[in-house]
């Protein structure tokens, strides 16, 4: 019964979305306030019914109702409760319900909190959101019904892929989707602006917080995915340039560009049509990411089912939304009067440069991701584009961008004083030089690239802090956005340091070890004490006991595991990680040789924890910026208009 309620609620949500996607557009065109007002009611209705469907699906998982096909395929009574709940979005059908739920919640927040928006603009934004909702609700109902019944119902479910039974992965999809779908707000605002033919500073001020919120969520989502790959896959790496990783990275790069170009629109009313294009592209990249990951075009842990009908449907949606919005853009963008061209040496010039590099980087990543698919489709044979390609292309594009960050942040609007800014960055330049020299003279393995990486990291961190300090010296109170920018830019330095050090000085040691054997890796001694069998809630495991020591003194007791899940008939590796915050000690239990010894992999990963710290800090910087007065001013003013509300 619960499943039928959920299914019915989805169908009702589709009807609401269809009304939301059409009537307000007509109303806004005719200037009819009654039709415009419908946007708000339908957005609330759509969100309510999708929420009912989502919680109905969750209820089916929680009570393990195996008469529902997706539950039977992806759950099991013995699964811990967290993974029963997370199991809702750990499969294709459920994850699409989460997708539309987040979409409708964004629509709901515009409907409820967007009272400062001019009603026609709000109606158009909600209408575009409604149209996206129609597309994806139809996709769910016609190709991926999560509530389909099984008859007869199996007694027990198939369980969930054990790799996905992990706290990191339980929260990875919701954050990723908050980011992906969050860009739909920028998209809707862009399309609404194109329909109205008007983009101004106010428009940029409305778009920017949504973009920023989406960007923060996407940053956290990508970091969670990377963190998961790091400790769960047991290969000691954190980023593999895997197509599905790239699929989430491209929207991030374009979203980052959008964040920066929207500032130019807000402050200088320039780069207008470019910003609108970026808003369209950011969401298009999100849709493309959804298509690549969900259609089964790419084989990975994410491609749950490769049903061609689904791929074709998403491809149609893709063509419709991306193609439609680009056609609208081509028709209307020339009418958006820009603020004229600005001086190259200025804050806005630096932000344009930022956009140029970020978009080039996004294009490179996209090309490397799609090339094997295109070549295969053209019958050119199977190739793989791996990390060497991305290192050779992405890194050279990033280096000038990152080197320009502290300079750009200090340039004045309109006309910047480049020599003056460079003069004020003396301290940061000194720090960078020092970092490079220290790297070249102290490190055991000399690497020019590592020296360059750490120099850029020092340049970014000291540059950001120095900028903040000199601003604080001039003004007593700084806007929160200045703090946010400092935190975000410094965190990029921290991430760069983490990536550089782990690439340059990771130590890998593989050995066959008997109980009592000691391996020496990077100044630490690792003593293998043996392995024993243990029993978990829904798995059995071999647990190794390894003592990490430094100069004979125990540092950490480490317990890497090799888990076997009988229901799913699958084995997973649980790496044991001890972090000193300057480095991770990372131990993986391999295989027994049958005579009492185990193959054991030990990694010394310098500065890897900084990558996660940096990513969290970057998102935090975004959140601090979000709380800026500028974004709160004109934000929903409670009360004041009770009469108007009643009439609505």
Q: Which stretch binds other proteins (CB under 8 A): 59-67, 166-174, 388-396, 626-634?
A: 388-396
> What are the C-alpha distances in Å from 120 to residues 40, 193, 363?
12, 10, 35
Q: Measured from the CB of residue 244, what is the shortest distance to other proteins in angstroms? A: 11
- CA atoms of 270 and 337, how far apart (whole Å): 9
**Pairing label, strands 524-535, 561-565:** unpaired
Task: Tell which residue, 415, 422, 257, has the closest CA to residue 351.
Answer: 257
How far from each other are the two terminal CA atoms of the chain, in whole angstroms? Answer: 36
Spell out, one character per residue from 566 to 605, where the chain touches other proteins: x when CB under 8 A holds, - when not: --xxxxxx--------------x-xx-x---x-x-x----
Bond prior to 52 in cis (omega within 30° of 0): no
342 near other proteins (CB under 8 A): yes
Q: Measured from the CB of residue 12, what is the shortest distance to other proteins in angstroms? A: 36
Residue given tokens 């409907």 in the structure block: 111
240 near other proteins (CB under 8 A): no
Spell out, one character per residue from 293 to 332, where the chain touches other proteins: x when CB under 8 A holds, - when not: ------xxx-------------------------------
381 near other proteins (CB under 8 A): yes
Task: Tell which residue, 213, 222, 214, 215, has the closest CA to residue 172.
Answer: 222
199 vs 366, beta carbon nearer other proteins: 366
Q: Which helix (H) or strand (E) holds 524?
A: strand 524-535
| Alpha helix ranges (H) inside 144-242 | 167-196, 201-232
378 vs 646, beta carbon nearer other proteins: 378
Q: Measured from the CB of residue 392, what is the shortest distance to other proteins in angstroms? A: 4
Q: How many residues bind other proteins (CB under 8 A)?
A: 51
Q: Are 302 and 290 in contact (CB under 8 A)?
A: no
571 vs 627, beta carbon nearer other proteins: 571
24 vs 368, beta carbon nearer other proteins: 368
- CA atoms of 359 and 6, how far apart (whole Å): 41
Spell out, one character per residue from 115 to 154, where the chain touches other proteins: x when CB under 8 A holds, - when not: ----------------------------------------
Task: Tell which residue, 213, 212, 39, has the closest CA to residue 125.
Answer: 39
37 vs 339, beta carbon nearer other proteins: 339
386 near other proteins (CB under 8 A): yes
536 near other proteins (CB under 8 A): no
Q: Measured from the CB of residue 246, what is the shortest distance to other proteins in angstroms? A: 14
Q: Which helix (H) or strand (E) holds 556?
A: strand 553-558
Q: Which helix (H) or strand (E) holds 379?
A: none
What does the DSSP assignment read for 4-48?
HHHHHHHHHHHHHHHHHHHHHHHHHHHT-HHHHHHHHHHHHHHHH
- Judged by CB under 8 A, the residue of 51, 52, 85, 512 near other proteins is 512
Q: Measured from the CB of residue 74, what is the shortest distance to other proteins in angstroms? A: 12
254 near other proteins (CB under 8 A): no
Q: What angle, 0 to 180 degrees and rounded to 10, lies between the N-to-C axes of helices 119-143 and 92-113?
A: 170
- The tokens describing 442, both together, are 């102290």
Q: Are 256 and 621 in contact (CB under 8 A)?
A: no
- CA atoms of 582 and 606, how far apart (whole Å): 6
519 near other proteins (CB under 8 A): no
Q: Phi and psi at residue 626, in whole multiples of 5°?
A: -60, -30
4 vs 591, beta carbon nearer other proteins: 591
283 vs 342, beta carbon nearer other proteins: 342
133 vs 368, beta carbon nearer other proteins: 368
Name the maximum alpha-carbon separation found in the chain. Answer: 83
Q: Are 136 and 99 in contact (CB under 8 A)?
A: yes
- Judged by CB under 8 A, the residue of 5, 105, 141, 163 near other proteins is 163
The conformational region for residue 77 under phi > 0 = left, psi -120 to 50 = alpha, else beta, is alpha
240 vs 429, beta carbon nearer other proteins: 240
4 vs 376, beta carbon nearer other proteins: 376
Q: Measured from the CB of residue 393, what is the shortest distance to other proteins in angstroms? A: 5
Give SS3 for 578: strand
Identify residues 396-415 at the interface with other proteins (CB under 8 A): 396-397
Q: Measured from the CB of residue 69, what is the shortest distance to other proteins in angstroms? A: 17
Q: Phi and psi at residue 562, in whole multiples of 5°?
A: -125, 110
Q: Measured from the CB of residue 405, what is the shortest distance to other proteins in angstroms? A: 16
Q: Are 585 and 524 in contact (CB under 8 A)?
A: yes
202 vs 597, beta carbon nearer other proteins: 597
73 vs 559, beta carbon nearer other proteins: 73
Q: Which helix (H) or strand (E) holds 447?
A: none
Q: Measured from the CB of residue 368, what is the shortest distance to other proteins in angstroms? A: 8
- Judged by CB under 8 A, the residue of 326, 353, 399, 438 near other proteins is 353
Q: Phi and psi at residue 554, in whole multiples of 5°?
A: -60, 135
- Judged by CB under 8 A, the residue of 392, 448, 518, 534 near other proteins is 392
163 vs 328, beta carbon nearer other proteins: 163
- Judged by CB under 8 A, the residue of 63, 316, 383, 633 near other proteins is 383
Q: What angle, 0 to 180 degrees and rounded to 10, lies between the N-to-C axes of helices 119-143 and 167-196?
A: 130
- Judged by CB under 8 A, the residue of 320, 327, 472, 510 near other proteins is 510
516 near other proteins (CB under 8 A): no
Spell out, one character per residue from 360 to 379, where the chain touches other proteins: x when CB under 8 A holds, - when not: x--xx--xx--x--------
* 561 DSSP β-pair partners: 543, 574
419 near other proteins (CB under 8 A): no
DSSP 8-state code for residue 89: G
178 vs 351, beta carbon nearer other proteins: 351
384 near other proteins (CB under 8 A): yes
160 vs 494, beta carbon nearer other proteins: 160
Q: Measured from the CB of residue 555, what is the shortest distance to other proteins in angstroms? A: 23
357 near other proteins (CB under 8 A): yes
Each as own residue / partner, the long-range contacts of residues 640-643 (CB below 8 Å, 24 or more positions apart, any chain) are 641/115
- CA atoms of 119 and 132, how far apart (whole Å): 20
- Kindly list the residues in this chain that would bind other proteins in the complex (CB under 8 A): 161, 163, 233, 235, 299-301, 340-344, 352-353, 356-357, 360, 363-364, 367-368, 371, 381-386, 388-389, 392-393, 396-397, 510-512, 562, 568-573, 588, 590-591, 593, 597, 599, 601
């Amino acid at each position: 019964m619960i499943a039928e309620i959920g299914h019915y609620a989805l169908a009702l949500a589709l009807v609401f979305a269809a009304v939301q996607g059409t009537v307000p557009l007509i109303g806004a065109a005719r200037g009819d306030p009654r039709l415009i007002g419908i946007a708000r009611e339908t957005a609330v209705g759509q969100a309510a019914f999708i929420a009912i469907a989502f919680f109905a699906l969750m209820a089916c998982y929680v009570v393990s109702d195996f008469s529902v096909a997706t539950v039977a395929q992806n759950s099991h009574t013995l699964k811990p409760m967290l993974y029963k709940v997370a199991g809702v979005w750990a499969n294709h059908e459920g994850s699409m319900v989460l997708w539309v739920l987040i979409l409708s919640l964004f629509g709901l927040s515009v409907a409820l909190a967007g009272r400062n928006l001019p009603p026609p603009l709000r109606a158009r934004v909600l209408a575009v959101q409604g149209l996206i909702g129609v597309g994806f609700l139809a996709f769910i109902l016609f190709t991926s019904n999560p509530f389909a019944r099984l008859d007869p119902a199996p007694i027990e479910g198939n369980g969930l892929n054990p790799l996905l039974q992990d706290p990191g992965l339980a929260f990875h999809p919701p954050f990723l989707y908050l980011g992906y779908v969050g860009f739909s707000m920028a998209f809707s605002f862009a399309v609404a602006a194109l329909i109205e033919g008007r983009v101004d500073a106010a428009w940029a001020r409305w778009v920017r917080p949504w973009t920023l919120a989406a960007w923060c969520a996407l940053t956290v989502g990508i970091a969670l995915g990377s963190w998961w790959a790091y400790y769960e896959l047991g290969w000691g790496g954190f980023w593999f340039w895997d197509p599905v990783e790239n699929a989430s990275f491209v929207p991030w790069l374009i979203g980052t560009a959008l964040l920066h170009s929207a500032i130019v629109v807000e402050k200088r009313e320039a780069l207008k049509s470019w910003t609108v294009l970026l808003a369209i592209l950011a969401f298009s990249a999100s849709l493309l990411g959804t298509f690549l990951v969900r259609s089964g075009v790419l084989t990975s842990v994410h491609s749950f089912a490769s049903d061609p009908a689904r791929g074709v449907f998403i491809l149609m949606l893709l063509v419709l939304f991306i193609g439609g919005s680009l056609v609208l853009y081509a028709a209307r963008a020339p009418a958006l009067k820009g603020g004229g061209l600005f001086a190259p040496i200025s804050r806005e010039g630096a932000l344009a440069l930022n956009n140029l590099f970020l978009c080039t980087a996004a294009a490179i990543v996209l090309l490397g991701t799609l090339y094997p698919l295109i070549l295969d489709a053209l019958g050119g044979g199977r190739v793989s584009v791996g990390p060497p390609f991305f290192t050779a292309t992405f890194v050279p594009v990033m280096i000038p961008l990152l080197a320009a960050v502290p300079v750009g942040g200090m340039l004045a609007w309109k006309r910047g004083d480049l020599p003056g800014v460079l003069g004020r960055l003396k301290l940061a330049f000194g720090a960078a030089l020092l970092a490079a020299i220290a790297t070249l003279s102290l490190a055991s393995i000399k690497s020019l690239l590592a020296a360059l990486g750490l120099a850029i990291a020092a340049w970014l961190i000291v540059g950001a802090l120095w900028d903040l300090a000199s601003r604080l010296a001039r003004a007593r109170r700084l806007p929160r956005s200045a703090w946010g920018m400092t935190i975000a830019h410094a965190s990029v330095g921290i991430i760069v340091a983490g990536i550089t050090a782990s690439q340059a000085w990771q130590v890998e040691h593989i050995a066959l070890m008997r109980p009592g054997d000691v391996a020496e890796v990077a100044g630490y001694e690792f003593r293998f004490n043996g392995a024993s069998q243990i029993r978990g809630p829904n798995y059995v495991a071999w647990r190794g006991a390894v003592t990490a020591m430094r100069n004979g003194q125990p540092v950490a007791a480490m317990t890497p595991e090799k888990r076997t899940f009988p229901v799913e008939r699958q084995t997973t590796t649980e790496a044991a990680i001890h972090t000193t915050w300057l480095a991770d000690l990372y131990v993986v239990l391999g295989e027994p040789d049958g005579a009492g010894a185990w193959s054991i992999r030990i990694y010394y990963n310098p500065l890897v924890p900084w990558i996660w710290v940096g990513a969290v800090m970057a998102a935090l910087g975004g959140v601090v910026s979000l709380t800026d007065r500028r974004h709160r001013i004109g934000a929903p003013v409670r009360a004041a208009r009770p009469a108007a509300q009643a009439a609505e």
